[in-house]
């Protein structure tokens, strides 16, 4: 990994996290400041890509793996029938605070509209 982030430390189990999903390429853990009853972050384990803007064409399948992991978790937890939201923020104005791309899964309540 090229850049150190707090997520790097979670991947290496150097700081605690409530891990709810893991495969060879993706780690899912509960957000420490949840914005919904269910708020899980899905991150790539083997690459640090700071923002979605930094993603290269050959890395695009990684986004699909994050989405598939989030969907699998939602189905496993019984969230898919009522619905869930997945979100990726890009840079500060969009709300990105950790510069290691990640996907938020939000569920467990009626989420309504979002944005300004």
The gap between the terminal CA atoms of the chain, to the nearest Å, is 35
Query: Following CA atoms 71, 75, 77, 78 in sequence, which dihedral angle do they give, to the nearest 10 degrees?
Result: 130
Q: Exactly one of 93, 100, 102, 104 is catalytic; which is it? A: 102
In the numeric block, the tokens 């979670």 are attached to 10
Answer yes or no: 104 catalytic.
no
User: Which residues are known catalytic residues?
Assistant: 102
């Amino acid at each position: 990994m090229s850049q150190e982030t707090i997520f790097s430390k979670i991947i290496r189990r150097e700081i605690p996290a409530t891990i709810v999903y893991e495969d060879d390429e993706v780690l899912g853990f509960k957000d420490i400041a949840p914005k919904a009853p269910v708020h899980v972050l899905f991150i790539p384990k083997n690459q640090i890509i700071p923002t979605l803007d930094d993603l290269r064409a050959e890395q695009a399948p990684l986004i699909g793996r994050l989405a598939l992991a989030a969907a699998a978790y939602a189905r496993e937890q019984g969230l898919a029938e009522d619905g869930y939201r997945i979100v990726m923020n890009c840079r500060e104005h969009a709300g990105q605070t950790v510069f290691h791309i990640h996907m938020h899964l939000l569920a467990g309540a009626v989420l309504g509209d979002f944005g300004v």
